[in-house]
Every structure is written in structure tokens, then in C-alpha cells.
Amino acid sequence: MPNIVIVGAQWGDEGKGKVIDILAPKVDFIVRYQGGNNAGHTVVIDKESFILHLVPSGILHKGKICVIGNGVVVDPKALLEEIEMLRKKGISVEGRLFISEDAHVIFPYHRKLDELKEMKTRRIGTTKRGIGPCYADKVARSGIRVIDLMDETVFKDKLRSNLEEKNLIFSRIYGVEGYSFGSLYREYLDYAKKIRKYVRNTTILLNDAIKRKKSILFEGAQGTLLDVDHGTYPFVTSSNSTAGGASIGTGVGPTRIDKVIGIVKAYTTRVGEGPFPTEFDDAFMGVIRQKGKEFGATTGRPRRCGWFDSLIVKHSVAVNGIDEIVITKLDVLDGLESLKICTGYRYKGKVHDNFISGVKALDDCEPVYEELPGWEEDTSRVTSYSRLPVKARNYLKRIQELVDSKIVLVSVGSDRKQIFSKRA
């Protein structure tokens, strides 16, 4: 099995968790490389849902090694809660979960800053988990890493310095109370004791694994259009959620990656603020939202829904170097008389056939649609591509042509069994 990156090719929530769950038995290591507990990967096994925010989805398979890479920002409280949730469900992480010593740590002041900034300035629609402020500290070179937690003296000095700055911001800019050094110091020393057994130099761990011919599945979070460089900035996440982030967030060089698989929903959704050219009207959105269970796995927020936008997926294919595509939630479109695919944006009298990165232009553009006939049959029970309705196959064929990448798997439900190969 080659080393593969799984990446969302829209605004996230494409069904990456399910695909990772399917591929995990074929690899040795599963690695998260960016984001934090703002992600939510859902896997349904025999009607039981597992929602994972930090621990890679591969943990559900016995014997698989799971790694939280250096590019992830880790909330130790959330991580320990997730480990305990898995334990209660009979899944042990002991000897199978490793955390990069270079990963940055989320503190309560990060969460508070996230919340206050969202209230005070232009709304981005963050999860308020402290992800952005933690990455901001990382880039400002004032962040506290997991390895710092392991040394009481280093941690004490860094936390004290951070709190002096953060408490001034809380009092002078936001007019709220800051945090006590003593209570935070003791709380996080306790977390340090509990996570110490998982901490490793994961760059060495992964590169050694590659030398031993072990295979790695890189588990991306969020989606391409939420990438801080290639997404709908500023309505994005604070990390590189594109495939290139896999190298930066793990220390595995790009020449060691063999394939990139893009996960694509059969329609389009996004959570939070920002432009969305193909968004449905409220009435139809309500129908699709209920049918597709379009509510955030992390926050429970209702997702915005719209027609398939081929331009954003074509953009994703390019910036990720996507080799293959997996289409999910095709069954949600069952029973519709007709379907629309966005093939261009009309802006200032001109039709663009490529993604527009300017947020205002994207907000003001008019989608150009191609209409296709829908299908009346129920696809959720279909077990092979050849048994799909002809109109459903035509829809997938047209998507494949427009985004310039081949579809290899099609998912028609949330269960791990409701997926089949297109190579048939």
C-alpha cells in the first residue's frame, strides 16, 4: 500500500472519516497533520457512530498505529476526554497512539480569545475552540509545545510570559478578567503527566517506518476551501488543510507521498460565514439538510447546502495534486426531478470557468448552471456502480469530466458498507 494523503476537496465535511476508516486496514500508520479539535470525523459501524476530533480515525482498527503530528494544535483536556470515550467503547489506544512533541498546545486563554474576537470583529464562524489563537502564537514564536509541557521549568517560564501578555489583552482591549498562573500551571502539569506516555519525536517515528517499508495514511481535516492560503480567505481555518500540509505537519518529505485522494460530496456544503455561490434557498436547503443530516459533528451547527460547484473542486484538484476522487452522499440526491452543476461564475459581465479567489467577487458572482435529469430510484441499497440508475451514472460522469480527475469510489450512505468501487 502506498503512502496516501486524504484531503477534503470542498469546504470540509465531505466524509473523510468514512474513507479513512475503509482504507485504514490496508496501511500501518494513520496520521493527523493539521487542525485541532475543530475537526469532526464520523465513522458509523453497525449503526453506532464514532465522532473523533483529535485521535485519527484509524484507531478503530486493531493493531494500527495512530499519530497526531506536529502540525496539529492539541487541547489536552479534549484529547484525554476522547481517549476515555474510546476506552469506554472498548477501544484501547495504549501503544497505538503517539503525539508529536512539537505539536502546539491549546490553553483556555486561546479559547477565550477566539470567542471574544468572534464577538467583537467581523464574524468568521469559528468553532471557538481556540485553534486560530493557538496557531497565531505558533507563528509569533510564543507558543507552548507539548515538549515544553514535559519540562516543568521551561513550561513555568513560558506560561508566565504568555499570561502576562494575554491578561493585558483581556483587561485593556476586551475589559474582561484574565487567568491565574497558579491554577493553569497546576492543571496543565496534570495533563502533562497523563499524556507523557504518548509523546514521541514522531518525525523520526514516521520516517523510520517508511524506511521499513511501512505504509502511511495522512488524515486531513477541514477542506481545501478552508486552507489558510488556498481557501476563501479570511473565511478559512488557520492551517494548511491542503495536501501540502501533510509534509509540513508531519516531517515526512513530499517525495515520500505516493498519492492524493480527494473526498467530494455529491453536492456542496459549508459551515460558518463566507461566500457560497451555489447556496440553495432556505426551503430547499431545509430539505437537503434534513435528508443529508447536515449538522456539524463538532459544533452541531446546521451546514449551509448548495448545488455541486465544479469550479471549487477543479481548484482543489490543482492545488492538492489530486489523483483520484471519492464521491460521498450520492443517495441524498435521490428523488430529485433535476440537478444542477455549477460550471462557471458570471462576474461583471464575464463568465469565468475557474475558481475566483477574491471573496467579494465570489460573493457577487452569479453561478452558471448546467442542468441534468435526476433519478427516482433509491440508491442507498445499491452495492455496485453498474447497478446505479443510468441518470446517476451520467451525473457522476459529468462531474468527472468537469473536475478533470477520475472517480474511484462512490458512497451511498453513512455506514462503512455503503460504498463501492467505480472501477467496474
- Asked if 399 and 327 touch (Cβ cutoff 8 Å), the reply is yes
Q: Does domain 4-100+199-260 have CATH number 3.30.390.50?
A: no
* pLDDT tens-digit series, residues 124-140: 667 789 999 999 999 99
The residue assigned the cell 496557531 is 135
* pLDDT tens-digit series, residues 115-127: 998 776 656 667 7
264-421 is classed in which CATH architecture?
Alpha-Beta Complex (3.90)
**pLDDT tier at 1, thresholds 50, 70, 90:** confident
Active-site choice (13, 75, 102, 148): 13
Strand, helix or coil for residue 409: strand
- Give the highest mean pLDDT range of 43-57, 207-221, 298-312: 207-221
Which residues, at least 6 apart from 316, have a Cβ–Cβ distance to it below 8 Å? 7, 9, 10, 223, 224, 225, 242, 262, 322
Query: Catalytic annotation on 315?
Result: no
CATH 3.40.440.10 domain extents, the chain: 4-100+199-260
**pLDDT tier at 424, thresholds 50, 70, 90:** very low
Q: How far apart are the C-alpha atoms of 218 and 30, rounded to whole Å?
A: 6
* pLDDT tens-digit series, residues 36-48: 988 777 776 666 6
Lowest mean pLDDT among 23-27, 277-281, 412-416: 412-416
- Which CATH homologous superfamily contains domain 104-194? Adenylosuccinate Synthetase, subunit A, domain 2 (1.10.300.10)
Mean pLDDT to the nearest integer, 263-268:
98
* pLDDT tens-digit series, residues 308-359: 999 999 999 999 999 999 999 999 999 999 999 999 999 999 999 999 988 9
Closest CA to 31 of 52, 56, 13: 56
Query: Catalytic annotation on 13?
Result: yes
The chain-wide mean pLDDT, for the chain, equals 93
Active-site choice (21, 41, 309, 315): 41
Q: How far apart are the C-alpha atoms of 244 and 214, rounded to whole Å?
A: 21
Lowest mean pLDDT among 42-56, 59-73, 178-192, 361-375: 42-56
CATH 1.10.300.10 domain extents, the chain: 104-194
- Asked if 377 and 390 touch (Cβ cutoff 8 Å), the reply is no
Lowest mean pLDDT among 104-108, 115-119, 384-388: 115-119
Q: How far apart are the C-alpha atoms of 253 and 318, rounded to whole Å?
A: 20
CATH 3.90.170.10 domain extents, the chain: 264-421
As to burial, measured by CB atoms within 10 angstroms (0-12 exposed, 13-18 middle, 19+ buried), residue 334 is middle
What are the respective helix, strand and coil percentages of the chain, to the nearest 5?
40, 20, 40
Look at residue 382 in the predicted model and tell me its pLDDT: 95
- Asked if 146 and 107 touch (Cβ cutoff 8 Å), the reply is no
